[in-house]
A = this chain, B = another copy of it.
């Protein structure tokens, strides 16, 4: 008799971030750890009205089983929006509605990854993707992210033998770093990928949350042809509780993804899809997104300003033009895992960077979320964190320190 649990589960672990959120949930802790959109901006009244209307008027359909592909008018809305906002051509039939964009990653893993297949991700990389793909036992390769996107010579090297199955990327306001691919890096990436069998997976949950600079064309169908895959989500532009994401892919891939989705959950909540569609029909989503942009833009502004004021000069910080995160680099040799313990004592929290590196590096980095705190809270929290970092970097604090059991254990499981 084999072991009780399947071997694949040895390489998958509970999300470090979700574990950390438990530590930071105490009411007097200011937390920049979570990756939550600001619930004060949720269109609560509009959603309540949309829900009552669509269930009352079309309940026998809105509460029933539906197709695996997703609600057709919702897919039409998404396709039309790609044409209007991004200038790319996507057919409604090429869109598969998923249970959040996390499910996109699970389905892609199921459909593409054989054990040992090479999967290229960014360094640092999105934790949800690392977790979802790990179930299917790939071999991860990484490319470092620079201020304007991936390191191109590194990319050429890792793709040289054409033995990389997938290249997963978040080109706009990446989680965790907040960094984006410049126009030039997009072009260069497309040139490196041309003629390779590698499939580029472009995850774009934050693309519409731009508060500075110019919108960029999507990689997929902007710089790269149809065989590549584009992911989207309503979580950051409307609300995440619906669990509504989507995959854009060519027909052969969509066929496989639909089969995998049937086996996974039959279809995404009809109720979620219908309420969201009703909301989109009855309201101006662009005006709503503009409110989010303005608010997050101010919050990021305040956070950057406070970091300038309270952090020592030896600490680096990214300057994202959108999204929800800032990325901090401490001086070489400083451990953000150890800083985390200190920060909790100072009643302020963040996510240490190491879990975002599959190669075990990145211990001197950390992620700050600015979307889910008011400007006043950001000011107070960054002041606390600045004080904490200064103490941490001061010579007298360099003596050996005890290691916190829970985050350390969880981190090890991700290395």
Residue of A37, A42, A98, A134 ringed by the most chain B CB atoms within 10 A: A42
A113 at the interface (CB under 8 A from B): yes
Chain B residue with the shortest CB-CB distance to A53: B48
- Contact across chains for A55 and B59 when beta carbons are under 8 A apart: no
How far apart are the CA atoms of A16 and B30 in the complex, in Å?
Answer: 53
Copies of this polypeptide in the complex: 2
Residue A269 at the B interface, CB < 8 A? yes
Residues in B neighbouring A165, C-beta threshold 8 A: 1-2
Q: Using CB atoms, name the residue of chain B closest to A133.
A: B263
Closest chain B residue to A241 by CB distance? B270
Q: A68-B18, A263-B106 are in contact. Are A99 and B269 (CB under 8 A)?
A: yes
Number of interface residues of A (CB under 8 A): 83
With A64-B42, A271-B272 as contacts: A113 and B6 at CB distance below 8 Å: yes
A268 interface residue, CB < 8 Å from B?
A: yes
Task: State which of A86-94, A253-261, A391-399 sits at the interface with chain B.
Answer: A253-261
Task: Check if A263 sits within 8 Å of B42, measured CB to CB.
Answer: no
Residue pair A55, B63 in contact (C-beta under 8 Å): no
A79-134 residues at the B interface, CB under 8 angstroms: 98-100, 102-103, 105-106, 110-114, 117, 128, 131-132, 134
User: A45 at interface (Cβ–Cβ under 8 A)?
Assistant: yes
* A40 interface hit (Cβ, 8 Å): yes
- Tell whether A291 is near chain B: CB-to-CB under 8 Å: no
Q: Contact check, B59 vs A9: say whether CB atoms are below 8 A apart.
A: no
A351 at the interface (CB under 8 A from B): no
Contact indicator per residue, chain A 1-41, by CB within 8 Å of chain B (1) or not (0): 11011111100111100100000000000000000110110
Q: Mark A346-357, 1 if CB is under 8 A from B, else 0.
A: 000000000000
A63 and B242 in contact, given A1-B163, A48-B51, A269-B271 (Cβ under 8 angstroms) = yes
Tell me the smallest distance from the CB of A15 to a CB of chain B, in Å.
Answer: 5
Query: Quick one: which of B2, B15, B45, B99 contacts A56, CB cutoff 8 A?
Result: B45
A44-77 vs B: 1/0 string, CB under 8 Å? 1101110110011001111111101000000000
Question: A61 to chain B: which residues have CB within 8 Å?
Answer: 39
CB pairs A–B below 8 angstroms (19 shown):
A7-B114, A8-B110, A18-B262, A39-B64, A40-B60, A44-B59, A51-B275, A63-B239, A65-B235, A99-B99, A100-B265, A102-B264, A102-B266, A103-B265, A106-B263, A135-B260, A241-B269, A243-B266, A265-B265
